[in-house]
């Protein structure tokens, strides 16, 4: 199999799997295993892709291109850059873990469920790989379709409001992006992201940014976030904050910043301000949130802000740090939500006042939650420390106060994450924590441990990503040069 | 054969059209509404024939003839509905036929 | 005296003849074929007729590279016509499949003896209306336009009321008839005025006269155009000429609604595009703006009103109004791109509209009552295939990239932008946003309710036919076809656009 | 030489990983011994390094070894690299040596705790982090170690996680250190912005604008103060005594808390370019040593007394390093590691024997039952006060002398503070001594005392105490500045003492005299008050309360930082998040639906209305056309 | 000459009478409360229209008008009216208040607009000319035009009529249906 076809395989394999699962009348168990098989195959193919990716070569790699409809210059054009490679990896790994979680907890209506999970996988990979604006938009929207049903059917008590709110919020942004895409594409004569020229139009920039800041999200566009993260089934929340949110940030990097250099510098301060606001605001609210998922939800808001800070710093360190942090935080929040799900399965709640003292007698749970939590608060030496350090060092070169704010927010991060850890694991035993509530079972370990292992590996060698995301010595120059 | 300008005929047609429209708008009896529709079609016919005279080509007259047939068909179906309604012991008052709304 | 009768290009009218002939045959069934097999016979004739029509119109498409008028300029034989006929015949075929199991008369309830009354006539009318539409899309002058309009309109009036035991059916029929005749009256008077201004009724002739005699902006002409716009606006059910739509769609038998909502729009929009661009190119500014405004109104009213409906048929009716608005955007652009956009949009749209109404029909039948958001609960789990299909159509309507609706919207916006109307793009975008709420609402009703709310046992059915549930195989086939079309049109954009381009090239753009 | 350093660094990490992976599959004792062995292996590595370094010329005693590029971006890259030079060698020896003894000690101390394995994993991890801190070959790696020791200190303070107080103390410690980390990080950002690098060399030989230099130095000082519990970031240390006593001995006395001193010595070129800031560091030390000494006077928890004395002794080290006498600061760090660990461990013996009792008012007369403990504690106390020939004497006095060597007005202020500190040290140390050990055992003691198989503790506990007692006695003889100073010479290539801070012998002599007299005076006063009761403690209720409230630092921070933050957040959530951010979407939705029902109203169901709309529409279009044509 | 002018006057008189009776009867159609009278009034309207067709030299159409309309359509009306029985209903009544106002406004607007349009046009292209062939409007001529120029229209009307008949049968003539 030649390398280029890997790109398309990664997109269409899970979608084919979804259709297969919908068609085949299999038992729940068989369906789950089949879905798991597909998502593991995805991981395998991605490893193959990463192995074949040539980091010493510039420009797009493993590109495939076929005209979709020519009269408007729209083509099915997919390929990977360094940073998209990492995000695809994050996607397939996280989705595999979450699919496994769904299998482990035995979701009912399994055929629908697993089909949608696979569909989501394909769509998300598509977002990170597509190199044509309309294809990008198509996948960007396609992610919503399974999410809407996944939250609405398998979610919590207030799932319906949550899911409608989520979809309409995000569509509000992305539809404006569609308008912007139409205008950009017809002006440029092509919708191709690689050949497309840069544009100086501030309106188009804003049109794109609206979609991305809602998806990421940045303050104050996160109205959908708390409900969605609380009401969705844990594995879906994991995907949402771990992977889907990254699509918005990826969009900022790949489209908003790369294609609109002048507007970017014009609105830089504004966006940086929004990002910083998201960082501080999210950290503060996470610090006062009263439940497990609430903390993680608002911390994801803060993290989105941090990453946006790095992206819009527009400096070498900023870009590298942002990509690194995207991957790191993706793994972190995925594992955190999965652990949250495990806790809720045992105690039926995520409310702090009902939890506590779970560390005693549950070493695996304690160790994993402790490890992930500590990595997520960016203790020096961890992957997320590396990411945040680069981001803040990068934005420092823009103006010192951004990194001052960031540093302050990191202290806040320590406060809310330690609060989370001790509220769940430490002090007196919570009223809902029964002795029978077991430690993590092997099945759950098999899902979370690989993610944590990945995090530890990144902690040992963050340069593995930070130095392999953009070709050349200066990421800023690479971005400016359209990744050529 | 000199006589009033074509414009006068068309004007009459216009007025007739307006009267027919008014009839449809202010009458509740299905039958009268159908009659008013006939008036509107006839207004169209008059205009067509007058203008056919003006351009003295046949299209207008043929059009008018065809319209007569059409009018007849509409009446046929319309009256059929009236009969059906009547057989269902329903009022022929169009205002009472408002089960479907909103 | 010798009479030089006009030469008739029989083949050029092949589709129309096929359908009309089939219609007559079906009518004969009503008297010649015993009741026991009448439904089967009539349905088979109808299917055969539509298939023949399909084949012929495809053949016509291939064979009519250079479009021209036939039979003394009464009819256009070109690819625009042929493609429209292909779409119409396709819908007709699907309608036949659904109708075989559904129409007329679930309204007549359990009285089996009378379910098959007028079944033959129904198919005859279906074929007749289809014939009328296939003629309508090719109409070459104002007279044939008016006549063919009445042709299928009258057939539709009767079809709406064919469940004449139901008051709502009669009400729908009467409303449709009266409002329709009023619209026809306006159209007629408008044609008269245009005729008066130019002295001819053939589309091309009008344009020539206007050009040669500098009639642009002539009082009669513009007044006539205005009245014609109103008359056609009624047929497309575009606001503010839309008011009849929800009521008629709700009252008519659902199969008929499916047929109307998809086929009528195809015919009306294609004809309108041809008429405006062929006959009135010089007043493009006027009707362009008019249709833009009408489009905006339709988008606004259709979507807003749909938000607060409970009855699914009404929701879909309003959604069809809003989609008329989308397609009118393409029409108002009046460019070659607009023509392509319109032609493309119609394919997934009609598939989705037909499919969704067909699904409603199935639900209606198993419940025996009108379908509302409440009694739709659990449908998705009870009828997996139909549920998924509905899910599909709803997301497709909403413009999510699950079907061709997405590309259609994109094309329409592109046409509007090329025409320099960014504001129209924004309007469309906002309308889409609003529409999400009710489309998602239907999906929510189908899937996201607790199972206790299930209406019937999965696989079960409220016995229309007394015994076991009807398998409704044909309906599933039809829905599957609609699904295939709306899904396939997402991937097969290029070929479809090629067809549309050739079709549009027949128009003087 | 580098081999030794790697071995030294990785052995404890290996221990941690081994224990974690084995989990509950190995007996507790096994875990304990794995940890102990790993740390002693590390000590072996340190010795190896030291010996190799010994054999080299002073100029060539510094070597950097890189494993791989840890973090890289653009033209900035920081390797995973170790720097071995005299300074780090000393620290390696202290950390792994004292650490080894303390881990050994905790085998006995932690015996019977049902989460022993976790304890030993943590403590081995701490040793690893501390070694990473002192061996780190560039500023980034130093920061990594810096953060990791903070982390392990958090883990160990909160080891008994059912105790809310312990968890709170752990969080407090971590957050305050995170603040220090943040200021250091900011300092590093400045360096990166200027030099695109965090290598020691690149940043030590570069000359930045004085503002930049001062900011960098301030940032580093913030980190140092947080880690070493210097004012104003000192409040976490006393609470940290919630942790097990060996932890207090190792982390909060011997090694981690003194890292600030190491940092100043390590980055002295930066500080020297920002001399003002360096002197501020010295001032901080001076202030802290007084304040801590005063607070120690009124504490009743045996470990807290020692904790405050730790703060005060680190104050001395800061003073020394601040004025530029890095070697003296480091030397005091060394001796302090011996005697303070000794004090904590003897206190631990007492606590262990009294089943966890820590209130010195209940301990009277313990010495009768625990003679070994008693004498060892006395050694530590004398070393602490700085009575010759015990180690404290040699190191402390030279620091005060260097202050005098400055000769400037602030130099003399520092000098006075040093002397006063010596007096306070004598006072609070022997207050402790007289309250706990001499005299008849109190009923409480008799009731709760239990020995360990007839001994005062398990041999694993007694042996380290003995060794440290020896070291606390002789450790200081390594250098007596007026006469011989091998330690200073050894450190010279890494951290050359500033000329201005090099005291003359006379200064050395009279300073020594003064400190010893002050110390003895303190001891005498303690004897008079707590042993003979000839002098009564002055009531001075205000001052007493002030000291008991530790000068109200906690209350201050609570009121200035924590409470406002909480109020702000609650306000944001109530006034902004819920009503605005979360509600806007639904509100818009409501409005839309309202519009919908409005539109719906025109659909009256009346046929004539429909016709009316059609007619009106037609009329409208006609009118529009007639106008627009 | 005089005859001609007299002919002119005569034409004018006939026209005026026809026009007024046409409009008058139209008004009557929509204002009688009894549909039966309305139907009768329609006959008058059709008749006067037929006269105008004659003036416009459309003999055949005039004849057809009388035959088809007066002879067929209206008769059909009358039958149905007799069948469903008299149903009295006064104009301007019922419906929401704004319905009536809107009705007048809309219908009035249409009327005025078109009349204005006619007026604007009358000065221009709608000037009268009398040079029209003698054959114009004769049945033979009409037949020729029908079969030569507008064959399809002819066919279509037949189809439409058939459909309408079928529809009428389905809707109107259902036996044993009254359930």
What does the alpha-carbon distance between residue B4 and residue E127 come to, in Å, rounded to a whole number? 10
Does B99 touch chain D if contact means CB atoms closer than 8 Å? yes
CB contact under 8 A, B36 and E164: no
Q: Do E145 and B5 touch (CB under 8 A)?
A: no
Interface of B with D in 68-97 (CB under 8 A): 94-95, 97
Chain E residues lying within 8 Å of B15, measured CB to CB:
23, 111, 115
Q: Of B11, C210, B58, D629, whose CA–CA distance to E122 is shortest? A: B11
Tell me: the pLDDT tens digits for E7-58? Answer: 778 888 999 999 999 999 999 999 998 889 999 999 999 999 999 999 888 8
Contact A385 D140 (CB under 8 A): no
| CB atoms inside a 10 Å sphere around CB D480 | 18
3-class DSSP state for residue D79?
Answer: strand
B39: closest chain E residue by CA? E26
Paired residues of D69 in beta bridges: D79
Q: What tokens appear for A23 in the block? A: 């068609």
Query: D567 Cβ partners below 8 Å, 6+ apart?
Result: none
pLDDT (average), residues A106-126: 94
Chain C positions touching E126 (Cβ under 8 A) are: 196
**% pLDDT > 90, chain A:** 79
Mean pLDDT of D184-197: 92
The pLDDT value given to residue C103: 65
- Whether C163 contacts chain E with CB within 8 A: no
Q: Using the beta-carbon criterion (under 8 Å), do C170 and B102 form an inter-chain contact?
A: no
Q: If you average pLDDT over residues A148-169, what whole number do you get?
A: 92
State the Cα torsion D549-D554-D560-D563 to the nearest 10°: -110
Q: Do C194 and C220 meet the contact criterion of CB atoms below 8 Å apart?
A: yes
Q: What is the pTM assigned to this prediction?
A: 0.93
Q: Which residues of B touch C129 (CB under 8 A)?
A: none
Contact D399, D316 (CB under 8 A): yes
Two tokens, residue A4: 């280029």
Cβ-Cβ contacts under 8 Å between C and E: the total is 95
Q: Over range A449-462, report the average pLDDT.
A: 94
Query: How far apart are alpha carbons D372 and D475 in whole angstroms?
Result: 20
Please write the tens of the pLDDT for every residue from B69-88.
Answer: 999 999 999 999 999 888 88
Label residue E177 by pLDDT band (50, 70, 90): very low
The sign one gets for the Cα dihedral D92, D94, D100, D103 is negative
How far does D132 lie from chain A, in Å, by closest CA? 11
Q: Which run of H or E residues covers position D14?
A: helix D2-22
Beta strand pairing call for A74-80 and A61-69: antiparallel
* Closest approach of D391 to chain A, Cα-based (Å): 36
Task: Give the mean model confidence (pLDDT) for residues D563-581.
Answer: 90
Q: Could you tell me which of D303, D132, D269 has the C-alpha nearest to residue D200? A: D269
Residues of E in contact with B56 (CB under 8 A): 132-133, 136
Q: Least CA distance to E61: which residue of chain B?
A: B65
Q: How far apart are CA A309 and CA A298, in angstroms?
A: 17
Residue E85's pLDDT is what? 80
Interface B:E, Cβ pairs < 8 A? 264
- Using the predicted structure, report yes or no on whether residue D204 has a pLDDT greater than 80: yes
The token pair that represents D260 in the structure block: 């600030």
Answer whether E149 touches C (CB < 8 Å).
Answer: yes
Q: Give the closest-approach CA distance of B1 to chain C in angstroms.
A: 20
Across the interface, do E11 and B1 touch by the CB < 8 Å criterion?
yes
The DSSP code sequence of A291-353 is BHHHHHHHHHHHHHHHHHHHHHH-SHHHHHHHHHHHHHHHHHHHHHHHHHHHHHHHHS--BGG
**E101 interfaces chain B, CB cutoff of 8 Å:** no
**Cis peptide bond prior to C223, omega within 30° of 0:** no
Chain C residues near residue E149 by CB distance under 8 angstroms:
6, 72
Q: Length of chain D, please?
A: 629
The Cα B22–Cα D454 span in angstroms is: 119
Instruction: For residue C459, count CB atoms less than 10 angstroms from its CB and return exposed for 0-12, middle for 13-18, buried for 19 or more.
Output: exposed
Neighboring chain D residues of C223 at a CB cutoff of 8 Å: 622, 625-626
Element spanning A91, H or E: helix A82-105
Contact B25 D604 (CB under 8 A): no
pLDDT, average across residues A434-454: 89
| pLDDT value of position C468 | 40
Q: What is the pLDDT of residues A225-251, one digit of tens each?
A: 999 999 999 999 999 999 999 999 999
* D619 close contact with E: CB closer than 8 A: yes
Say if the ipTM goes beyond 0.85. yes
Beta-bridge mates of residue C77: C68
CB contact under 8 A, A68 and C417: no
How many Å apart are CA A325 and CA C435, to the nearest integer?
37
From E167's Cα to the closest Cα of chain C, the distance in A is: 6
Beta strand segments in A113-239, E: none
Cis amide linkage into residue A220, ω under 30° from 0: yes
B-interface mutation test, from D598, D604, D606, most B Cβ less than 10 A away: D606
CB D106 within 8 A of CB D119: yes
Closest CA to C334 of C299, C293, C297, C287: C287
Instruction: Tell me whether residues D608 and E109 touch, CB distance under 8 A.
Output: no
Selected residue of C226, C292, C314 to mutate for chain D interface (largest D Cβ count, 10 A): C226
Note the pLDDT tens digit of each residue in A198-211: 999 999 999 999 99
Which of C154, C152, C284, C159 is CA-nearest to residue C222? C284
Work out the minimum CA distance from D604 to partner chain B, whole angstroms. Answer: 6
Residue B92 confidence (pLDDT): 82
Interface of A with D in 312-341 (CB under 8 A): 315-317, 320-321
Contact D619 E116 (CB under 8 A): no
Are E170 and C162 in contact (CB < 8 Å)? yes
Contact D607 B95 (CB under 8 A): yes
Cβ neighbors of C429 (< 8 A, separation 6 or more) are A175, A176, A178, A179, C413
Nearest CA in chain C to E116: C219
Per-residue pLDDT of chain C (509 residues; tens, 9 = 90+): 566 677 888 899 999 999 999 999 999 998 899 888 888 999 999 999 999 999 999 999 999 988 889 888 899 999 999 999 999 999 999 999 999 887 665 555 545 566 677 889 999 999 999 999 999 999 999 999 999 999 999 999 999 998 888 888 899 999 999 999 999 999 999 999 999 999 999 999 999 999 998 888 888 899 999 999 999 999 999 989 999 999 999 999 999 999 999 999 999 999 999 999 999 999 999 999 999 999 999 999 999 999 999 999 999 999 999 999 999 999 999 999 999 999 999 999 999 999 999 999 998 888 878 899 988 888 888 888 999 999 999 999 999 998 899 999 999 999 999 999 999 999 999 999 999 999 999 999 999 876 555 555 444 444 333 334 557 889 999 999 999 999 999 999 999 999 999 999 999 88
Closest residue, chain B, to D599 (C-alpha):
B102
Residue E140 · residue C62 · CB < 8 Å: no
What residues of chain C lie within 8 A of the CB of B20, using their CB? 185
Tell me whether D604 touches chain B (CB under 8 Å): yes
CB contacts of D614 in chain C (<8 Å) are 179, 182-183, 186, 230, 234, 240-241, 243
- Which positions ≥6 away from D79 have C-beta within 8 Å? D66, D67, D68, D69, D70, D137, D138
For an interface test with C, the pick among A22, A71, A119 (most C C-beta atoms closer than 10 Å) comes out as A71
Answer yes or no: do B102 and D600 touch at CB < 8 A: yes
Does the pLDDT value for residue D365 go beyond 90? no
Percent of chain D topping pLDDT 70: 100
CB contact under 8 A, D618 and E116: no
d(CA D253, CA E73): 114
CA of D569, closest CA in chain E: separation in Å? 55
pLDDT at position D41 is 95
pLDDT for C465 equals: 38
Name the DSSP class of D492. T
Let me know if chains B and A touch, i.e. at least 3 Cβ pairs under 8 angstroms: no
8-27 in chain B: CB under 8 A from chain E: 8-12, 14-23, 25-27
Higher pLDDT, B60 or E128: B60
Asked if chain B contacts chain C via 3 or more Cβ pairs within 8 Å, the reply is yes
């Amino acid at each position: 199999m030649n390398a280029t076809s890997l790109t398309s395989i990664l997109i269409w394999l899970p979608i084919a799997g979804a259709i297969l699962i919908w068609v085949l009348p299999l038992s729940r168990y068989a369906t789950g295993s089949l879905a798991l098989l597909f998502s593991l195959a995805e991981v395998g193919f991605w490893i193959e892709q990463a192995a074949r990716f040539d980091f010493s070569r510039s420009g797009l790699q493993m590109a495939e291109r076929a005209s979709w409809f020519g009269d408007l210059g729209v083509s099915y054009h997919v390929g990977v850059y360094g940073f998209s490679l990492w995000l695809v990896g994050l996607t397939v790994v996280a989705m595999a873990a979450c699919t496994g979680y769904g299998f482990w907890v035995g979701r009912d209506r399994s055929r629908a469920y697993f089909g949608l999970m696979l569909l989501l996988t394909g769509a998300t990979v598509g977002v990170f790989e597509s190199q044509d604006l309309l294809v990008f938009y198509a996948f960007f929207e396609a992610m919503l379709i399974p999410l809407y049903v996944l939250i609405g059917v398998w979610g919590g008590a207030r799932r319906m409001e949550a899911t409608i709110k989520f979809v309409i919020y995000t569509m509000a942004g992305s539809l404006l992006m569609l308008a912007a895409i139409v205008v950009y594409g017809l002006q440029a004569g092509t919708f191709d992201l690689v050949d497309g020229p840069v544009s100086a139009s501030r309106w188009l920039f804003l049109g794109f940014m609206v979609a991305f800041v809602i998806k990421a999200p940045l303050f104050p566009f996160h109205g959908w976030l708390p409900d969605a993260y609380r009401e969705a089934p844990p594995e879906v929340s994991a995907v949402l904050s771990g992977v889907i949110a990254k699509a918005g940030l990826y969009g900022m990097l790949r489209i908003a910043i790369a294609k609109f250099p002048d507007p970017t510098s014009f609105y830089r301060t504004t966006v940086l301000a929004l990002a910083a606001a998201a960082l501080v605001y999210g950290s503060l609210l996470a610090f006062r949130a009263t439940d497990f998922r609430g903390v993680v939800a608002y911390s994801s808001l803060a993290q989105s802000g941090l990453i946006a800070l790095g992206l819009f710093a527009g400096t070498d360190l900023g870009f590298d740090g942002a990509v690194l942090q995207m991957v790191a935080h993706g793994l972190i929040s995925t594992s955190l939500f999965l652990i949250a799900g495990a806790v809720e399965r045992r105690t039926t709640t995520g409310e702090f006042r009902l939890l506590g003292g779970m560390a005693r007698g549950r070493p695996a749970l304690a160790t994993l939650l402790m490890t992930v939590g500590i990595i997520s608060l960016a203790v020096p030496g961890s992957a997320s420390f590396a990411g945040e350090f680069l981001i803040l060092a990068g934005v420092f070169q823009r103006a010192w106060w951004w990194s001052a704010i960031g540093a302050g927010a990191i202290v806040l991060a320590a406060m809310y994450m330690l609060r989370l850890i001790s509220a769940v694991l430490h002090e007196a035993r919570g009223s809902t924590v029964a002795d029978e509530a077991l430690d993590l079972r092997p099945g759950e370990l098999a899902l979370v441990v690989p993610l944590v292992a990945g995090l530890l590996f990144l902690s040992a060698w963050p340069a593995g990503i930070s130095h392999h995301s953009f070709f050349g010595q200066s990421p800023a120059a690479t971005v400016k040069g359209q990744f050529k | 054969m000199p006589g009033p300008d074509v414009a006068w005929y068309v004007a009459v047609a216009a007025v007739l059209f307006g009267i027919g429209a008014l009839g449809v708008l202010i009458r509740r009896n299905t039958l009268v509404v159908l009659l008013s529709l006939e008036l509107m079609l006839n207004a169209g016919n008059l205009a067509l024939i007058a203008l056919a005279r003006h351009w003295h080509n046949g299209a207008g007259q043929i059009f008018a003839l065809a319209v007569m047939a059409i009018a007849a068909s509409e009446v046929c179906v319309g009256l059929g509905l009236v009969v059906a309604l009547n057989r269902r012991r329903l009022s022929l008052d169009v205002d009472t036929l408002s089960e479907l709304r909103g | 005296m010798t009479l030089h009768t006009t030469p008739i290009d029989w083949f050029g009218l092949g589709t129309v003849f096929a359908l009309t002939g089939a219609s007559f045959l079906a009518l004969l069934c009503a008297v010649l074929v015993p009741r026991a097999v009448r439904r089967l016979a009539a349905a088979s004739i109808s299917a055969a007729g539509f298939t023949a029509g399909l084949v012929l119109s495809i053949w016509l498409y291939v064979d009519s590279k250079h479009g021209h008028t036939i039979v003394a300029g009464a009819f256009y034989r070109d690819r625009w016509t042929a493609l429209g006929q292909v779409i119409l015949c396709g819908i007709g075929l699907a309608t036949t499949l659904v109708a075989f199991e559904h129409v007329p008369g679930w309204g007549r309830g359990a009285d089996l003896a009378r379910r098959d009354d007028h079944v033959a006539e129904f198919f005859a009318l279906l074929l007749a209306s289809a014939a009328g539409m296939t003629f309508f899309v090719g109409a070459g002058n104002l007279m044939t336009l008016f006549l063919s309009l009445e042709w299928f309109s009258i057939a539709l009036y009767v079809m709406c009321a064919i469940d004449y035991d139901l008051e709502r059916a009669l009400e729908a029929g009467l409303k449709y008839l009266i409002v329709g005749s009023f619209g026809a009256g306006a159209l007629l008077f408008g044609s008269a005025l245009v005729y008066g201004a130019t002295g001819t009724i053939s589309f091309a002739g009008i344009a020539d006269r206007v050009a040669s005699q500098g009639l642009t902006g002539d009082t009669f002409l513009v007044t006539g155009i205005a009245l014609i716009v109103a008359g056609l606006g009624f047929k497309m059910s575009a606001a503010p000429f839309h008011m009849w739509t929800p009521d008629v769609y709700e009252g008519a038998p659902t199969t008929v609604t499916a047929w109307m909502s998809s086929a009528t729009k195809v015919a009306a929009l294609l004809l309108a595009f041809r008429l405006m661009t062929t006959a009135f190119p010089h007043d493009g500014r006027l009707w362009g703006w008019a249709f833009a405004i009408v489009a905006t109104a339709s988008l606004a009213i259709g979507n807003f009103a749909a938000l607060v409906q409970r009855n699914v048929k009404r929701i879909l009716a309003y959604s069809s109004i809003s989609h008329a608005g989308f397609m009118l955007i393409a029409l108002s652009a009046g460019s070659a791109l607009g023509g392509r956009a319109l032609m493309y949009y119609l394919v997934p749209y009609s598939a989705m509209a037909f499919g969704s109404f067909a699904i409603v029909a199935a639900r209606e039948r198993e419940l025996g009552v009108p379908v509302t958001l409440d009694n739709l609960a659990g449908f998705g789990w009870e009828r997996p295939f139909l549920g998924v299909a509905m899910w599909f159509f709803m997301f497709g309507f909403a413009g999510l990239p699950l079907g061709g609706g997405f590309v259609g919207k994109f094309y329409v916006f592109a046409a509007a932008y090329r025409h320099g109307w960014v504001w129209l793009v924004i309007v469309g975008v906002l309308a889409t946003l609003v529409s999400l709420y009710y489309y998602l609402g239907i999906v929510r009703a189908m899937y996201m309710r607790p199972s206790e709310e299930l209406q019937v046992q999965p696989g079960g059915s409220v016995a229309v036919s007394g015994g076991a549930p009807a398998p409704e195989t044909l309906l599933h086939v039809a829905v599957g076809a609609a699904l295939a079309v709306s899904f396939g049109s997402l991937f097969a954009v290029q070929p479809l656009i090629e067809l549309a381009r050739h079709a549009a090239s027949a128009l003087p753009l | 030489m580098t081999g030794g350093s790697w071995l030294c660094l990785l052995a404890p990490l290996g221990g941690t990983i081994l224990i974690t992976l084995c989990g509950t599959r190995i007996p507790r004792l096994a875990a304990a011994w794995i940890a102990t062995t790993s740390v002693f292996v590390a000590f072996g590595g340190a010795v190896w390094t030291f010996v190799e370094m010994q054999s080299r010329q002073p100029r060539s005693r510094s070597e950097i070894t890189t494993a791989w590029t840890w973090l890289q971006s653009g033209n900035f890259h920081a390797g995973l690299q170790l720097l071995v030079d005299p300074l780090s060698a000393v620290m390696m020896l202290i950390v792994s040596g004292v650490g080894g003894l303390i881990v050994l000690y905790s085998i006995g101390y932690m015996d019977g705790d049902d989460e022993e394995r976790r304890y030993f994993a943590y403590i081995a991890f701490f040793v690893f982090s501390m070694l990473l801190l002192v061996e780190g070959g560039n500023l980034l790696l130093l920061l990594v170690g810096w953060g990791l020791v903070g982390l392990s200190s958090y883990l160990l303070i909160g080891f008994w996680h059912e105790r809310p107080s312990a968890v709170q103390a752990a969080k407090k410690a971590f957050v305050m250190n995170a603040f220090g980390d943040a200021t250091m990080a900011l300092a590093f950002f400045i360096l990166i912005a200027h030099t695109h690098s965090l290598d020691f060399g690149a940043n030590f030989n570069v000359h930045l604008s004085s503002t930049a230099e001062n900011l960098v130095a301030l940032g580093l000082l913030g980190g140092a103060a947080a880690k070493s519990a210097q004012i104003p970031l000192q409040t976490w240390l006393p609470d940290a005594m919630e942790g097990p006593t060996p932890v207090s001995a190792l982390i909060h006395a011997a090694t981690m808390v003194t890292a600030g001193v190491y940092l100043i010595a390590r980055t002295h070129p930066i500080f020297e370019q920002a001399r003002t800031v360096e002197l501020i560091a010295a001032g901080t030390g001076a202030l802290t040593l007084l304040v801590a000494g005063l607070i120690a006077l009124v504490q009743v928890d045996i470990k807290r007394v020692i904790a405050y004395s730790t703060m005060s002794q680190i104050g001395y080290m800061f003073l020394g390093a601040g004025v530029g006498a890095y070697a003296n600061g480091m030397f005091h760090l060394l001796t302090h590691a011996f005697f303070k660990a000794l004090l904590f461990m003897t206190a631990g013996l007492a606590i262990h024997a009294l089943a966890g009792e820590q209130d010195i008012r209940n301990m009277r007369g313990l010495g009768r039952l625990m003679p070994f403990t008693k004498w060892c504690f006395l050694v530590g106390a004398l070393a602490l006060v700085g009575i010759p020939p015990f180690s404290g004497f040699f190191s402390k006095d030279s620091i005060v002398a260097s202050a005098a060597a400055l000769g400037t007005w602030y130099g003399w202020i520092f000098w006075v503070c040093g002397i006063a500190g010596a007096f306070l040290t004598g006072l609070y140390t022997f207050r402790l001594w007289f309250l706990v050990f001499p005299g008849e055992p109190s009923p409480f003691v008799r009731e709760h005392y239990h020995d360990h198989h007839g001994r005062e503790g398990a041999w694993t506990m007694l042996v380290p105490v003995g060794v440290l007692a020896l070291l606390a006695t002789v450790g200081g003889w390594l250098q007596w500045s007026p006469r011989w100073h091998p330690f200073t010479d050894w450190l010279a290539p890494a951290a050359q003492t500033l000329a201005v801070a090099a005291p003359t012998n006379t200064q050395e002599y009279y300073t020594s005299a003064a400190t010893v007299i002050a110390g003895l005076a303190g001891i005498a006063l303690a004897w008079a008050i707590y042993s003979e009761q000839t002098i009564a403690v002055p009531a001075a209720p205000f001052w007493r309360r002030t000291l008991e409230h530790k000068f109200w630092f906690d209350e201050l921070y609570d009121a200035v930082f924590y409470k406002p933050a909480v109020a702000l957040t609650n306000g944001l959530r109530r006034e902004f998040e819920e009503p605005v951010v979360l509600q806007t979407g639904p509100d818009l939705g409501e409005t839309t639906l309202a519009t919908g029902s409005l539109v719906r109203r025109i659909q009256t169901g009346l046929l004539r209305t429909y016709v009316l709309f059609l007619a009106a529409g037609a009329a409208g279009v006609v009118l529009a056309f007639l106008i627009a044509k | 000459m005089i005859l001609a002018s007299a002919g002119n006057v005569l034409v004018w008189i006939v026209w005026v009478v026809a026009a007024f009776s046409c409009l008058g009867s139209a008004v009557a159609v929509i204002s009688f409360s009894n549909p039966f009278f309305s139907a009768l009034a329609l006959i008058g309207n059709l008749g006067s229209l037929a006269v105008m067709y004659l003036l416009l030299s459309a003999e055949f159409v005039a004849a057809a008008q009388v035959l088809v309309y007066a002879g067929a359509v209206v008769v059909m009306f009358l039958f149905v009216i007799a069948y469903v029985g008299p149903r009295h209903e006064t104009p301007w009544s019922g419906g929401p208040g704004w319905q009536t106002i809107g009705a007048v406004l809309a219908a009035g607007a249409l009327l005025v607009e078109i009349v204005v349009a006619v007026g604007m046009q009358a000065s221009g292209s709608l000037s009268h000319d009398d040079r029209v062939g003698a054959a114009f409007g004769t049945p033979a001529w009409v037949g020729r035009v029908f079969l030569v120029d507008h064959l399809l229209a002819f066919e279509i009307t037949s189809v439409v009529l058939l459909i309408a008949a079928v529809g009428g049968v389905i809707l109107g003539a259902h036996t044993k249906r009254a359930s």
